[in-house]
Every structure is written in C-alpha cells, then in structure tokens.
C-alpha cells in the first residue's frame, strides 16, 4: 500500500519547517517485538530494523540526541498489561533492545505506558538539550509511536514520523495511523528525507 497516495492532501505531507535541533526517539525496538519466537513478534517489526538503523547512524554522525525506549509492565494491573492480558517484566529475556541495532550511546528510557512523555522524564531531557523537534521510529505505529507523537505535539515539539521506520500488525492500522497523524499532529516522511532534513540542522 502506497502511504503517500493514501495521505495525499493532508497537512502532514508538507515539507516540515527546518528543525534547529531534533532528537531521535527509537520506540520499543525490543526483542519482545523484533526477535522471532518472541511473544509479540511480527516480521513487520523485524523488517524495519535497517531503516531504524539508518536513522540512528544519521543522528549519531550529526551528534544529535538519541533516546531509546523500552516498554515493561510495572505490574499486572497497569493499563497496558491489563488491556493485553500480558506482562513484560524487566527481568524477561525479551525486555532488552534487539542486539542487531547498534545504538551507540543513547539515553535509555524505560516506560510502562504507551506514551513516552506520560511515563518518562523525556520532556525535561529534551528541553535541557535544546531540542525543538522529534523524529519518531519504532513499534508499534498505532500504539506507542502514535501516542508519543501526539504527546510531543501537545508539548510544542515539531513531530517527524518515519512512515517506513515504524511498523504495526496490519496495513490498515499503519496507514490509518499515518493518516490521523498527518491530519493533525505530525509530518509523515520517509527515512531518506528525514536524513536530508536533519543534515540541514547541524
């Protein structure tokens, strides 16, 4: 499915304003989602590893901040664990970020909700670093990535959302989320264009 065709005419397909200092948010690229035989594995999640790595490399070369999140269940009663009737404790073999990603030296943030802003201190860290925009990649498009994008928008950041650097369980959910974000929250862009944009911010 061609996301650019599906999103034609929405505001999020405009070229974004040049950010002064963007940060990369790598959302939940954990073994739990990306490693075959893991409880929440999908080939779709594994397939975006090269695109996510491309972003990591570009931000590393530009000396721009990189944040990587890891979802965990704080208790069996937290909202996410209760909804899915599944827990992911920090002690699990599936908790760590997939070893195929070479992250360099990111700031690791552990969260127990979909949204990174509502469950970590990322907003303060971004403001301390002087960041005015975030680039979002990872899994899942319609859950943790979308919630984080909405939160970032409402905190005043420009949001760039990697269409080919995010993934979820179906084309319907992926395109639907991209359309919603493009309508009111985020610039939807592919990883090659994101790299061009951050190149102008350094």
The per-residue pLDDT for 69 is: 98
**What pTM did the predictor assign?**
0.96
Q: How far apart are CA 72 and CA 81, in angstroms?
A: 9
Whether 30 has a pLDDT exceeding 80, the answer reads yes
The yes-or-no verdict on residue 168 having pLDDT over 70 is: yes
Query: Given a cut of 80, is residue 199 above it in pLDDT?
Result: no
Average pLDDT over residues 14-36: 95
d(CA 19, CA 16): 8
Q: How many residues does the chain have?
A: 202
- What is the per-residue pLDDT for 202? 60
User: Is 1 contained in some domain?
Assistant: no
Containing domain of residue 193, as a range?
A: 22-199
Predicted local distance difference test score (pLDDT) of residue 1: 65
Tell me what pLDDT residue 134 has. 98
Q: What is the CATH number of the domain that holds 80?
A: 3.40.50.850
Q: How many domains, in total, are found in the chain? A: 1
Q: Locate all alpha helices (DSSP H) within 29-184, ordered by sequence.
A: 31-34, 43-47, 49-61, 79-84, 116-119, 122-128, 146-154, 171-184
What pLDDT score does 17 carry?
Answer: 85
- Flag whether 43 is in a domain: yes
Residue 30 in any domain: the answer is: yes
In a domain, 135, yes or no: yes
Residue 42 lies in a domain: yes
Query: For residue 81, is pLDDT > 70?
Result: yes
Q: Which residue has the higher pLDDT, 77 or 54?
A: 54
Query: Would residue 72 count as lying in a domain?
Result: yes
| Percent of the chain residues topping a pLDDT of 70 | 99
**Residue 94 domain-assigned?**
yes
Residue 156 has pLDDT above 80, yes or no: yes
Whether 104 is in a domain gets the answer yes
pLDDT digits (tens, 9 = 90+) for 82-136: 999 999 999 999 999 999 999 999 999 999 999 999 999 999 999 999 999 999 9
What value does the mean pLDDT of the chain take?
95
């Amino acid at each position: 499915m061609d996301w650019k065709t599906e999103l034609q005419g929405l505001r999020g397909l405009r070229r974004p304003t040049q950010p002064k200092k963007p940060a990369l948010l790598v959302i939940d690229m954990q073994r739990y989602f990306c490693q075959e035989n893991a409880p929440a594995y999908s080939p779709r999640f594994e397939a975006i590893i090269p695109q996510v790595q491309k972003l990591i490399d570009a931000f590393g070369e530009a000396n721009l901040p990189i944040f990587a999140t890891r979802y965990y269940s704080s208790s069996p009663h937290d909202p996410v664990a209760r909804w899915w009737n599944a827990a992911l404790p920090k002690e699990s073999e599936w908790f760590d970020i997939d070893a195929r990603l070479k992250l360099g030296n990111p700031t690791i943030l552990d969260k127990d909700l979909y949204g990174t802003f509502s469950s970590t201190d990322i907003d303060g860290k971004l403001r301390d670093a002087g960041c005015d925009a975030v680039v979002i990649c990872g899994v899942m498009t319609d859950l943790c990535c979308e919630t984080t994008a909405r939160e970032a928008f409402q905190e005043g950041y420009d949001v760039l959302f990697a269409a080919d650097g995010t993934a979820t369980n179906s084309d319907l959910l992926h395109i639907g989320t991209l359309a919603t974000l493009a309508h009111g929250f985020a610039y939807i862009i592919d990883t090659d264009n994101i790299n061009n944009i951050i190149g102008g911010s350094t």
